[in-house]
Amino acid sequence: MEKFTTLDGLVMPLDRPNVDTDAIIPKQYLKSVKRSGFGPNAFDDWRYLDPGEPGEDHSKRRPNPDFVMNQPRYHGAQILLGRENFGCGSSREHAVWALEDAGFRVVIAPSFADIFFNNCFKNGVLPIVLDAGVMDRLFAEVEASVGYRLMVDLEAQTIATPDGEVIHFEVDEFRKYCLLNGLDDIGLTLQHADEIHAYEQRRRAEAPWLFNAITL
């Protein structure tokens, strides 16, 4: 998993509540055998005027000019502003894979659906919960100024706005530690590699038949 320490990123507002994971990545793309490559299909139904299928060249499709992601001023955005209950619906991890592949490393919303929230941390994406009032202000500011950026500092748990305001946010200590160090569950387990090796050595002596190799 990629580390997350600080991010100075362009902000894109997605001004609607209850954005569900089906909207983030529609079900036809779940047939994919990949974990990457979902980026062009993030928000597929909103983003394109014509329907899409996995495997086709999405750059040839007709973009919906009204959708925020297609407006040039938001190209290259890495921070997504959302509304209440962001990421609700099915548990598909593909939703986070799609956002990450589309370039987003931070999602800021007043509330998140639980599974989506957890899936973010597993994939190096930082979900931040802020008061609805603060969110309203951020939405107004980003819409008012082209090229609006935020500076997110995970260590300090702060978001700095262009005019110098500093907003504090909460994050679970353990999650923070994992993100700062780029540790996913696998990374964490591998910190105990010595213990795993020691276990294997002991078991191999005790019960060698469990280590019969599966080879043809």
Q: Which residues bind other proteins (CB under 8 A)?
A: 1, 31-36, 93, 122, 185-186, 189-190, 192-193, 195-196, 199-200, 203, 207-216
Instruction: Say if residues 179 and 4 touch (Cβ distance below 8 Å).
Output: yes
Cα–Cα distance, 128 to 33 (Å, whole number): 30
Give whichever of 113 and 159 is closer to other proteins, judged by the CB atom. Answer: 113
Cα–Cα distance, 109 to 102 (Å, whole number): 18
Cα–Cα distance, 39 to 96 (Å, whole number): 10
Instruction: Say if residues 95 and 116 touch (Cβ distance below 8 Å).
Output: yes
Shortest distance in whole angstroms from residue 127 CB to other proteins: 17
Instruction: Say if residues 98 and 39 touch (Cβ distance below 8 Å).
Output: yes
Shortest distance in whole angstroms from residue 53 CB to other proteins: 11
Shortest distance in whole angstroms from residue 178 CB to other proteins: 13
Residue 106: strand pairing partners: 79, 126
Give whichever of 75 and 197 is closer to other proteins, judged by the CB atom. Answer: 197
Shortest distance in whole angstroms from residue 27 CB to other proteins: 13
Q: What are the residues whose beta carbons fall under 8 Å from the beta carbon of 54, sequence distance 6 or more?
A: 28, 29, 31, 32
Give whichever of 16 and 35 is closer to other proteins, judged by the CB atom. Answer: 35
Shortest distance in whole angstroms from residue 44 CB to other proteins: 18
Give whichever of 38 and 43 is closer to other proteins, judged by the CB atom. Answer: 38
Give whichever of 109 and 120 is closer to other proteins, judged by the CB atom. Answer: 120
